[in-house]
Structure 1
Amino acid sequence: MTAATSAPADPHSSATNPRRRVGRPAAAVLDQAGITLAALQLIGKSGYDGFTMAALARTLNVAPSALYNHVSSKRDVLVLVQDHLTSFVDVAAFESGPWEQAVRDWAWSYRDVFSKHTPLIPVIAVLPVADAPRTLAMYEAVSAGFSRAGFPQERIIPAIVALESFIFGSAYDATAPADIFDSGSMASSTPNFTSAVQRLAEDSHEKPADVAFSLGLEALLAGLGALRTA
């Protein structure tokens, strides 16, 4: 018998060269976590002014219609971003620390996180918290801390809202230009104001926004602390 000779391999056969799929690369499976991270990436690159649903779809390598299967609007995406950022706000001291220091840690952390994302503040201010689990977790920790500190139940939410209003306004102030209170050519006609601005610059090595935030926060702590025991 003669040995059988094998035919040379076909260079185009599927066994040796699997055929490449035709068409666009497969997109990642969409979910809220992936949409949130892509939105943060886009915001970091283009800012909030450059953030659109079309741009987000391109970042995710999906058609806009696929994106709308998971979120119904730009506002929904901003809710996801806001909730993600809230997870970085420090509420740890409310578990065991003194109430005053817990509020300080929370307020400074809250301001610093959202001073980098001030375009979200108008969204936060009028946004129901029902679909924001991390935000609800923050409020639960703060409310529990207020309750342990002896606040009557009916005063806890008004106190938190009062602090948040101050924190959000201060987040904007933290991004203000250094010369925001420079009276310029009107200095001679505003002597009291101009003198106070100059004195602040001379006496403090801290940023004016930090000085103002510290003063206002301590005033709120003193006032709310008095209400706690009233």
Structure 2
Amino acid sequence: MEHGRAPGHRAGLTRTAVLGAARELLAEHGLAALSMRALARRLDVAPNALYSHIANKTSLLDDLLDDVLAEVDVPAADIDDPTAGLHQLMTSTYTVLLAHPDLVPLYLSRQGAHGPNAQRLGEITATLLRRTGISEPTVTEALRVLIVYTIGFAAFTSHLPQETGTEHQPSTAEMHDNFHQGLSWLLTGIQQDLPTPNPGGA
């Protein structure tokens, strides 16, 4: 007989297994079907076994959203061109979101993710924005705009056909090109607000 172990440990659970099963349920049956009891049934454990890893459904959703962001590729810390770094970072975020279309509506309704991965990506983005020459409060505003642009584009794209589009319904491939062009315009516009140097001094 085992002693001194939490219910989740007795069941052989890990946080990774819990989040993986939750992601499967969400993809198969939608948000309404995702409950702690349904998750316990999927994992073949008692519901109380989950609470060693997840506090409640709200925490579960927050953890799901943040966990996916670990897949985002970030530019090298010493990248020469911070604008190129921003383009790379937001493009990777867009690609990761499209790989998890069932989660995109949650990013919209919960206004992004707020866990450690989201905070790390936010800090990287803010650092790159500052390296382009802009400062507060523009950095905070620009960060918000880039997040909304990327999540919004992913939401629009996530249920489009992969290849063949029409005049009124572009394909995923066409939207990918649109995303890149629009992001370039957006980054250019953000930097147009930089103060113009005064060659004559103060």
Which interval holds the TM-score relative to the shorter structure? 0.7 to 0.9
Counterpart in the other structure of 1:99:
82
1:93–1:101: 8 Å Cα contact kept in structure 2? no
Q: Which has the larger radius of gyration?
A: 1
* Correspondence 1:48 to 2:30: yes
Counterpart in the other structure of 2:192:
226
Counterpart in the other structure of 1:7:
none
Distance of 1:169 and 1:36 partners within structure 2: 24
* AA in 2 matched with 1:214: H
Cα displacement string for residues 1-36 of structure 1 (whole angstroms, at most 9, x for unaligned residues): xxxxxxxxxxxxxxxxxxxxxxxxx5114x544422
Structure 2: any 5+ residue segments left out of the alignment?
1-9, 197-202
Counterpart in the other structure of 2:120:
137
Structure 1: any 5+ residue segments left out of the alignment?
1-25, 183-196
Distance of 1:122 and 1:55 partners within structure 2: 24
1:87–1:134: 8 Å Cα contact kept in structure 2? yes
Distance of 1:143 and 1:98 partners within structure 2: 14
Match runs of 1:179-198 below 5 Å: 179=166, 181=168
Distance of 2:141 and 2:50 partners within structure 1: 38
Counterpart in the other structure of 2:41:
58
Distance of 2:94 and 2:168 partners within structure 1: 21
C-alpha RMSD of the superposition: 2.7
The alignment covers a number of residue pairs equal to: 179
176, 183, 187: which one pairs with 1:210? 176
Counterpart in the other structure of 2:11:
27
Cα displacement string for residues 159-190 of structure 1 (whole angstroms, at most 9, x for unaligned residues): 011111111111022222434716xxxxxxxx
Distance of 2:71 and 2:40 partners within structure 1: 26
Cα displacement (A) at 1:55: 2.1
Cα displacement (A) at 1:64: 1.7
45, 56, 59: which one pairs with 1:76? 59
* Correspondence 1:120 to 2:106: yes
* AA in 1 matched with 2:30: Y
* AA in 1 matched with 2:50: L
With normalisation by structure 1, the TM-score equals 0.66
Instruction: Give the % identical residues.
Output: 24
* AA in 2 matched with 1:119: P
Structure 1's 63 and 217: CA in aligned 2 closer, same or farther, altered over 3 A?
A: same
Cα displacement string for residues 72-106 of structure 1 (whole angstroms, at most 9, x for unaligned residues): 43221111111111111122245423122111111
With normalisation by structure 2, the TM-score equals 0.75
The alignment partner of 1:207 has SS state of helix
* AA in 2 matched with 1:97: D
Structure 1's 84 and 103: CA in aligned 2 closer, same or farther, altered over 3 A?
A: same
1:86–1:135: 8 Å Cα contact kept in structure 2? yes
The alignment partner of 2:49 has SS state of helix
